[in-house]
Amino acid sequence: MDIQLDPAGDDLPLMANTSHILVKHYVLDLDVDFESQVIEGTIVLFLEDGNRFKKQNRSIEEVCQSESNKACKLGMPEPCHVPVTNARTFSSETEYNDFAICSKGEKDTSNKDGNHDNQEHASGISSSKYCCDTGNHGSEDFLLVLDCCDLSVLKVEEVDVAAVPGMEKFTRSPELTVVSEELRNQIVRELVTLPANRWREQLDYYARCSQAAGCGELLFDTDTWSLQIRKTGAQTATDFPHAIRIWYKTKPEGRSVTWTSDQSGRPCVYTVGSPVNNRALFPCQEPPVAMSTWQATVRAAASFVVLMSGENSAKPTQLWEGCSSWYYYVTMPMPASTFTIAVGCWTEVKMETCSSGDLATETPFSPSEADFRHVGVCSHMEYPCRFQNASATTQQIIPHRVFAPVCLAGACQETLLQLIPPCLSAAHSILGTHPFSRLDVLIVPANFPSLGMASPHIMFLSQSTLTGGSHLCGTRLCHEIAHAWFGLALGARDWTEEWLSEGFASHLEDVFWAAAQQLAPHEAREQQELRACLRWRRLQDEMQNSPEEMQVLRPNKDKTGHTSDSGASVIKHGLNPEKIFMQVHYLKGYFLLRFLAERLGDETYFSFLRKFVHAFHGQLILSQDFLQMLLENIPEEKRLELSVENIYQDWLESSGIPKPLQRERRAGAECGLARQVRAEVTKWIRENRRPRKRKRRAREAVLEKLLPDQLVLLLEHLLEQKTLSHQTLQSLQRTYHLQDQDAEVRHRWCELIVKHKFTKAYESVERFLQEDQERSQRDSFIHLLLAWGTGPGHQRRDYVAAKAVSPQSRSVLVLLFPGGRSQPGTHKRQILVNAASRPGSGAELLWDFEFFCTDD
């Protein structure tokens, strides 16, 4: 399979030759400079060649069928401080526990010894030589290919791991008399395969090796999507250096991180969940099969807090006045795409007061040797696994911290802090052992293009979740917590199968939230049916307004999970700008899992899900792995005509709405909460038709109090009405206090305001666009926009609104720009604007903007 790319296409290339060589561990040593908006430093890669890992790895199917897997005798990771200094040189005179501080950066070594600085070629993958098998070219040198873009690579060198004191224990010789490439590679091979119960020692040696001196520069070149490294004379992966250091720096426009200001106006930078993942943050192997561990030291001004995917709750170490260092590590192998960092002037938000009862279920987790006994058999590669620790398996609430801009600390105390313990406890009651030992929750800047994002040990939440009560915050928190199991501990082997992450999280969020609220079974069922009704409406909209080829959950069909001989592959539509707006993997995946759960019954289904999690945690899966194991656990009388092939055909490999779902929705009766909403809609329509001069009865006497999801459904039904009077809209606003509801409700309320030109409420629309922009970006189908002013003396024509219509569908991104009065002949004009260039837009695509202003 050759990687042939269309430069104008929307596929995302994964260029790393993971079939030949794998990165087993990264050591990052970085400085964050807010003045230049650059992150720079070094990354050391510890590699394992294909000859070794191909022998070690068996397919998932073989692992799961084997009953003879031995339980790992593992130690659990505890907070461990192994600081990594600036990666310059290591000698026997260096005191390891001290930080070696050196000047930032290195000079560009382009045009020297065959090295070249990063040059982006507009033509995409510019040479066919990077599309071929890079394993062994006969007389050619072996080529290490890493995924990389938007980086300036300054130098690449081999690391002399043999010079580190104590490394002789990793060789067959008691003394290192003759140092060769083979000896260095032998040391790295032994280091990366240390047993899991020696994880502390392994991290220590990784850190020491990362500081060792270089022993020769390596040749490198870059193109749009990759960094290629070679060593003259090293013709195979086995001969290639197994420890290399890359000196590099990011670019301000790099797509992996966003430089912005938080809600308090202070500078910050964070990984935004970009379609290009982390390749613009550090050179890496992006394919999910490249499971690695990492440790990182990050330096920043003392006023900043550094948060990262890490098992330890890092604390700052002062290096000198005004500069601090933060250290994190991860011992569970994860894809490089899950690495997350956020640097800003965050404040840790703590509970002001708490009774002893509030913390009754939360116990500090400090494992002892007595805890390291077998709880079950794990099938993943060896690492310190929480599923193997008795104390971890019973820990309902993992340690957690909350960080936010100072101005949002109060809102976090009122809402978020109260919800985390019950949501974590609920998740444990459904799925069992928490895969990760701790959790940081960060309220990210307002330009974050989603309501939330989960990464190992850290979660981003939008500020939109903090207003309008606990419902939106609770459901989103549950969704992201669910990703700890589905999306992180269990990852998709093929990224086109996103439903394995988002479908599960969407289905589990309702179950977790019901358990967190301690709802009675009939109440939980009613609320879940109501949310199913809302998702059904969204799915219908999605199918009507998206290209058919992007409605398929398993687009690669029989080729799902396949790569080229080198391990390179392409993610279909991975760069398509429409993708960030689409929810097909969430919705169709949710309805498939709901369909299967109803077929089995909740008790049987969730019992199976716990079994599945235990069998596959720490591994990569495909749809067939889940479906085959599920069908094996369905009693024959309940299986009927269910088969993997039928599910593929009906749910995963077809566009449009699955036929079983259509039949279910037609046959199913409306739930009680939805019927209550329909009754309220009828009342409002009747009210709207009454003569305006007629005195109306007090609405409080006839209208029911509605739940947030009921309000969303009510407003969606009213949006279907051709006309609503301003008097009716004003009554709606007053009756339900719509301006104070959560972002989901206010989103629909803003659509009503705009559709019916309800000028008195334009301030609510402006507030929504400024504070909850991710809602307008992700879900919005607002087709009618008006412009308005904000204060005394401002005419509405002093502002312009942009209706940004995607070329592929009717999806709309709404942006407001201050503007001057329109000139004659410029009432309506078409221009092309890069939405990403506007601060706070959170978009990375070109839109066709229609600017207009009102005449009244």
pLDDT tens track for 225-247? 999 999 999 999 999 999 999 99
Residues with Cβ < 8 Å from 520, sequence gap 6 or more?
none
Annotate 43-97 with three-state secondary structure: EEEEEEEHHHHHHHCCCHHHHHHCCCCCCCCCCCCCCCCCCCCCCCCCCCCCCCC
Coil/strand/helix, residue 105 = coil
Percent of the chain with pLDDT over 90: 63
Interatomic CA distance for residues 480 and 501, integer angstroms: 10
Higher pLDDT, 370 or 535: 535
| Percent of residues, the chain, with pLDDT higher than 70 | 74
Return the minimum-mean-pLDDT range out of 161-170, 188-197, 231-240. Answer: 161-170
- Residue 706 is predicted with a pLDDT of 95
Mean pLDDT value across residues 716-743: 95
pLDDT at 824 over 70: no
Highest mean pLDDT among 157-161, 179-183, 841-845: 157-161
Lowest mean pLDDT among 613-617, 776-780, 803-807: 803-807
Residue 63 has pLDDT above 60, yes or no: no
- pLDDT value at position 719? 95
State yes or no: pLDDT of 189 exceeds 60: yes
Instruction: Give the span between the Cα atoms of 321 and 264, in whole angstroms.
Output: 24
Dihedrals phi, psi of 682, to nearest 5 degrees: -60, -40
Give the pLDDT band (50/70/90) at residue 641: confident
Question: How distant, in Å, are the alpha carbons of 100, 259, 278, 314, 405 from that of 267?
Answer: 27, 7, 21, 21, 11
Taking alpha carbons only, the member of 250, 268, 251 closest to residue 259 is: 268
Question: Which contacts (CB < 8 Å, 24+ apart) does range 300-306 have?
Answer: 300/31, 300/32, 300/324, 300/326, 300/343, 301/34, 303/345, 304/32, 304/343, 304/344, 304/345, 305/343, 305/344, 305/345, 305/346, 305/347, 305/348, 305/403, 306/32, 306/341, 306/342, 306/343
Specify the higher pLDDT residue, 517 or 819. Answer: 517
> What integer pLDDT is reported at residue 92 of this predicted model?
32
Question: Which tokens belong to 382?
Answer: 């060896």
CA 291 from chain centre, in angstroms, equals 16
Q: What is the dihedral of CA 111, 113, 114, 119, to 10 degrees?
A: -40
Hey, what's the torsion of the CAs at 771, 775, 780, 783, to 10 degrees?
10
pLDDT band at 175 (very low <50, low <70, confident <90, very high): low
Query: For 112-139, what is the mean pLDDT?
Result: 38
pLDDT in tens, 497-508: 999 999 999 999
For residue 793, pLDDT beyond 50: no
Average pLDDT value for residue range 271-286: 93
Q: Partners of 570 in the beta sheet?
A: 13
Q: Which residues contact 608 (CB under 8 A, 6 or more apart)?
A: 600, 629, 630, 633
Q: Which of 69-73, 480-484, 767-771 has the lowest mean pLDDT?
A: 69-73
The candidate with the shortest Cα–Cα distance to 392, out of 378, 373, 407, 405, is 373
Tell me the pTM.
Answer: 0.84
Given a contact cutoff of 8 angstroms between Cβ atoms, the answer to whether 572 and 560 are in contact is no
Q: Average the pLDDT over 838-848 and give the result.
A: 32
The answer to whether the beta carbons of residues 464 and 415 sit under 8 Å apart is: no
Judged by average pLDDT, the poorest of 296-300, 568-572, 844-848 is 844-848
**370: exposed, middle or buried (Cβ count in 10 Å: 0-12, 13-18, 19+):** exposed
Strand partners, 327: 297
Beta-carbon contacts of 372 under 8 Å, excluding residues fewer than 6 positions away, are 73, 74, 75, 76, 197, 388, 389
- Residues in Cβ contact with 540 at an 8 Å cutoff, skipping those fewer than 6 apart: 657
Bridge partners of 115, per DSSP, are 112
- The Cα-based distances of 805 to 510, 577, 779, 809 in angstroms read 32, 12, 13, 7
Q: Rounded to an integer, what is the distance from CA 152 to the centroid of its chain?
A: 25
Residue 585, classed as helix, strand or coil, is: helix
| 3-state SS, residue 198 | helix
Return d(Cα 346, Cα 263) in angstroms, integer: 10
Which residues does 638 contact at the CB level (< 8 Å), separation at least 6?
A: 599, 600
pLDDT at residue 351, rounded to an integer: 86
Known catalytic residue at 362 = no
Residue 199 scores a pLDDT above 60: yes
- What confidence score (pLDDT) does residue 173 get? 63
Q: What are phi and psi of 573, to 5 degrees?
A: 60, 20
Check: CB of residue 50 under 8 Å from CB of residue 134: no
| Dist. CA 222–CA 366, nearest whole Å | 46
Kindly state the average pLDDT of the residues 638-663: 92
Question: What mean pLDDT comes out for the span 651-680?
Answer: 94
What whole-number distance in Å separates Cα of residue 763 and Cα of residue 769?
10
Average pLDDT over residues 201-217: 96
Q: Specify the range with the lowest mean pLDDT, choosing from 238-247, 342-351, 737-746, 771-780.
A: 771-780
**When comparing pLDDT for 798 and 581, which is higher?**
581
Query: Confidence band (pLDDT; 50, 70, 90) for 102?
Result: very low
**What pLDDT was estimated at residue 364?**
37
Q: Residue 774: what pLDDT?
A: 54
Task: Tell me the two tokens of residue 564.
Answer: 């080229």
Mean per-residue pLDDT over the chain, rounded: 80
Q: What pLDDT is attached to residue 582? A: 87
Q: Are 403 and 442 in contact (CB under 8 A)?
A: yes
Q: Quickly state the pLDDT bin for 176 (edges 50, 70, 90).
A: low
| pLDDT confidence tier of residue 703, bands split at 50, 70 and 90 | confident
Place of tokens 């069998």: 615
Q: What is the mean pLDDT of residues 786-805?
A: 33
Instruction: Find the largest Cα–Cα distance for the chain.
Output: 101
Question: Of 40, 48, 286, 480, which is the active-site residue?
Answer: 480
